Structure 1
Amino acid sequence: MFDTILKTLHTIEEEQDVRVLYACESGSRAWGFPSQDSDYDVRFIYVHRQNWYLTIDVEHHRDVIERPISDQLDVSGWDLRKALQLLRKSNPPLLEWLNSPIVYRNEYDSAAQFKQLLPLYYSPIACMFHYLHMARGNYRDYLRGDEIWVKKYFYVLRPILAIKWIESEQGVVPMEFATLVDAIITDATLKHEIEVLLARKKAGDELDKGPRNALISQFIETELTRLETTPTPPAPPRPSKDALNRLFRHMMIVAWER
């Protein structure tokens, strides 16, 4: 599949007249708990030629490339300008891409150049809002019945553990679910229950269903209640765009020199 992914990215470059700067895995395979039939969720950052940006209506140009899902391959990417705008907002999905343990392309050491700007743009508060919204929504939509789609537990557990990671001031949230569990879950019984659920997720297919786990459900509900009653400080003002503009110009130039 690795070769197929590289060929797909090359085809996108040719068809769209862009250069892929960075490409990684972003879904359950990067989180460390793929099922037997999990998709490959490939996400990438790309850059157009200079003239594409030199128009009076560049903000109306489509800044996303998406491919229809086929053969377990889900591929989509963001234009460099969009990615840098989202970095200024401390966008958690982008931060997770940059920390993915599975990288398919990393031209010109792009990930490191993005990460050099994190001290300027990383906002714990913005990230906590994102993960709390995700946890609330997934809990409301998937975890209220007597029988639960197994994978949906992780779609609530992971953002809750991400919030607790941020609260412990450990910086940008890691992609790997096991890293979060090891760092955050101190109750041995709860950790065991999560590990058993994780083994089921890996062994089953994407649609495996089972009864509610009382201990995990209680942990989730307790944390959501706590977070609902915890006052959240206002987000700090966004810093200057100067560093982002410099990186944008640099990456656009080096990408098209070859």
Structure 2
Amino acid sequence: MREHIQEVIGTLEKDYDIKILYACESGSRAWGFPSKDSDYDVRFIYIHKRNWYLSIDQGRDVIEVPSGDSISIPIDPLLDVSGWELTKALRLFRKSNPPLLEWLRSSIVYYQSFSTIDKMRILDEQIFSPTSCLYHYLNMAKGNFREYLQGEEVKIKKYFYVLRPILAAKWIEQYNTIPPIEFHSLVEKIIPAGSLRKEVDTLLKRKIAGEELKLEPRIEVINQYLQKEIEYLEWFVKGLNSEISDPTEMLNQVFRGTLDEVWGRV
């Protein structure tokens, strides 16, 4: 699959007349709990040629395959590919966008070219906003908790839609840094040994074994933990006041430097 993904990356560059700077895995495979039929969620950052940025109508800043676009080679049905244009990515980076920060920390990198991503990784702790990231993870957890875990029976995989954002939010609360992308790293640092940890470890093994679609009685020790942490984090985040200096000019320099590096100086 890696070879096919890299072939798709090369085809995207040709079909859209762009340069891809970075491509990584962003879904359950990057989080460390794929099942045998998990999709490959490939996310990438790309840059157009200089004249695209000098037009009054720049057009779309997202490429999505296969849902929104088509390319000149067949796509594996397990492959979900989407990318952000660089200035869009940098604007989201300025806002400390958690999905983008996770991309930069993915342990599964399919492609990287030029120096842009390394520069962003150097800057990410400077632009990191604990408040906005914690709100993002908390709101994700709350929505998924209401939608998936309130019935008498639940699907196993839905627990991870709530556990992972809760643990990421707890990481920010405890360490005030960008949380790791791998689920096991969050579990090891956040959940101490005991009944809850045993249930989560068992759940993880079953998820990886492919039992994620099974309906069964909800696990009360996990539900109680999630409810308690949601209530606590809602209180905690209200007291956060993390101000960071405006990184816009630094990010402008990253963008301009990338244009020169990729396409050459004018």
- TM category (shorter chain) comes to over 0.9
- What residue is the counterpart of 2:262 in the other structure? 255
List, as ranges, runs of 4+ consecutive aligned residues in structure 1 with deviation greater than 4 Å. Answer: none
Q: Which moved more, 1:172-181 or 1:63-72?
A: 63-72
Q: CA RMSD in A?
A: 1.5
Instruction: Give 1:252's aligned amino acid.
Output: L
The answer on whether the counterparts of 1:44 and 1:77 sit within 8 Å (CA) in structure 2 is yes
Aligned to 1:67: 65
Residue 87 (structure 1) aligned with residue 127 (structure 2): no
Mapped contact 1:20–1:44 kept (Cα < 8 A): yes
- Asked if the contact 1:150–1:197 (Cα under 8 Å) also holds between the matched residues in 2, the reply is yes
Shift of residue 115, structure 1, vs aligned partner: 1.2
2:33 corresponds to 1:27: no
C-alpha displacement of 1:210 = 2.3
User: 2:36 matched to which residue of 1?
Assistant: 36
Q: Is 221-230 or 195-204 further displaced after alignment? A: 221-230
- How many angstroms apart in 2 are the aligned matches of 1:77 and 1:248? 16
Which of 78, 86, 98 matches 2:84? 78
CA contact (8 A) 1:36 1:205 kept: no
3-state secondary structure, aligned to 2:21: strand
Q: TM-score, normalised by structure 2?
A: 0.91
Structure 1: gaps of 5 or more residues: none
The answer as to whether partners of 2:167 and 2:186 remain within 8 angstroms in 1 is yes
Letter in 2 for 1:55: S
- Separation in 1, partners of 2:27, 2:48: 26
**In 2, Cα distance between equivalents of 1:52 and 1:22:** 20
Alignment partner, residue 128 of structure 1: 134
Is the alpha carbon distance of 1:240 and 1:103 closer, same or farther for their aligned partners in structure 2, counting shifts above 3 Å?
A: closer
SS at match of 2:135: helix
Is the Cα–Cα contact under 8 Å of residues 135 and 159 in structure 1 kept in the other structure?
yes
- Among 174, 179, 197, the alignment partner of 1:191 is 197
Code of the aligned partner of 1:181? V
2:122 equivalent in structure 1: 116
The residue number in structure 1 matching 2:177 is 171
- 1:228 maps to which of 230, 234, 242: 234
- CA deviation string 1:97-147 (max 9, x = no partner): 000000001112433211111233111111001001100110011110111
In 2, are the aligned partners of 1:39 and 1:73 still within 8 Å (CA)? yes
Percent identity between matched residues is: 51
Runs of 5+ in structure 2 lacking a partner?
A: 68-75
